[in-house]
Amino acid sequence: MMMNDVEIGLSISGKRNNHGVVIKFTNCLILRNHQLVHDDLWVQNGKIIDPQSRFWEATCFHEYAADVVIDCRQSILAPGFIDIQLNGAFGIDFSNPNHVTSGGLESVANKILPHGVTSFCPTVITSSPESYRSLLPHIRPSVGCGISNGNLVGRCHVLGTHLEGPFISVKGAHPEHLIRPTTSIDQLMQVYGSLEAVSIITMAPEIPGALECIKQLCSKNTDSQSERFVVSVGHSRCDLSTATKAVDNGARCITHLFNAMTSFHHRDPGLIGLLGTTSHQTFYSLIADGIHVHPSSIKIAYCSHPSGTVLVTDAMCAMGLPSGQYEFGELKVDVDASIHTAKITNTDTLAGSIATLDSCVRNFLQFTGCSVVEALEAASLHPAQCLGIDSTKGALTFGADADLILLDNDLNVQAVFVLGQLAHLEDKDCFT
């Protein structure tokens, strides 16, 4: 559905959506500069533009006026959500080569749009070298725009892959026989084959060779570059001393804080202790589904380091599907959709979530008592900052990609735009 179609119920007026068309979102609360403000937002060629520059360059009103005007009717206009840990959804498992090579990636990229996600990192759990070589060539970054029935439509951006394992020490829901107890750059390449389209690697910093490996992986990151290669520490039994060394060597995130790691101890808090340091605080992802982490623990983390929170789903292939048994990598998982749990068959071990990112945002708001701005930024600005892509994603700044979501006051997603193209509309009457 084209975004200028008057039937979509967004009070749209203007010309057909041709190349170079200027779109103005008006009558909205825009998330900008860490606050919600009443303002207009202008878009052209998939980018957010500065209307003042357009005004001064115009020689007449016609050159300044927008081609398309979208009346948001007091909705919140925020950056699209970014999920940096998504294992799969809607029956697709990113650790299954057959699913990835048969169009599964594109299927998920379309179906998660209603939940406000405009970019995500497909996540592959601990697998065999043969599986990585089958999977990774088919998981490539793609721009969130495509053609449907001859029309240009928005679709979810696929970012680089998140490789979670096999260089870990706490198995969690990973196949134990495939875990590697040591690591080096050579071993890394032998296992993965290539890191060409990889954005994140999760590893345990205490395994032999890991600290040096982290240093080498992050050595190409510089202060002047934008997008970064991210090493995230997780699935670990490390002490705080080792965790701080990992950060010194370039690690910049903790994978699903509290889960698959040594529990907090007052004498040595381990990875969790990074949140209490002054010089080694880093980003940390949280699964705010109300099951993986107790709401009080989520509030403790938020209060310790609010600007480091990165909300993730860690969802597996059963997200969006009914109760039943599913495969997650090499494991069998029992899903009970009525209580929102996914557990390895015949165990009480959680195997990812079946949560959606918009529900995690609402939960985070409720659990912590934070502001609406902080809840939204935990799923947009912070993951973009973690990946080093915040100049183009995660914030509604001039020059950034026009990946936008419209939400009501309860943070329910009403509409999604990717590069300025309408990608999802919840209800034709939602703005009437």
Could you give the CA distance from residue 395 to residue 32 in angstroms, rounded to a whole number? 7
Amino acid identity, residue 32? R
| Short-list 234, 300, 227, CA closest to 261 | 234
Alpha helices (runs of H) in 118-251, residue ranges in sequence order = 129-135, 185-192, 210-218, 240-248
Instruction: State the helix-helix crossing angle for 210-218 and 185-192, rounded to 10 degrees.
Output: 80
Token pair of 104, please?
């599964």
Identify the bridge partners of residue 162 per DSSP, sorted by sequence position. 123, 200
Find out whether 87 and 317 touch, Cβ atoms under 8 Å. yes
Percentages helix, strand, coil for the chain, rounded to the nearest 5? 25, 30, 45
Rounded Cα distance, 100 and 66, in Å: 41
Q: Choose the catalytic residue: 314, 358, 390, 403.
A: 314
Q: Is 187 exposed, middle or buried (0-12, 13-18, 19+ CB in 10 A)?
A: middle
Tokens coding 393: 């994603």
> 60: Cβ–Cβ under 8 A, 6 or more apart, which residues?
none
Instruction: Establish whether the linkage from the previous residue to 166 is cis, with ω within 30° of 0.
Output: yes
Catalytic residue list contains 67:
no
Burial 193-204 (b: 16+ CB within 10 A, else e): bebebbbbbbbb
The upper half-sphere exposure of residue 386, i.e. CA atoms within 13 Å in the direction of its Cβ, equals 37
**Which residues are identified as catalytic?**
314
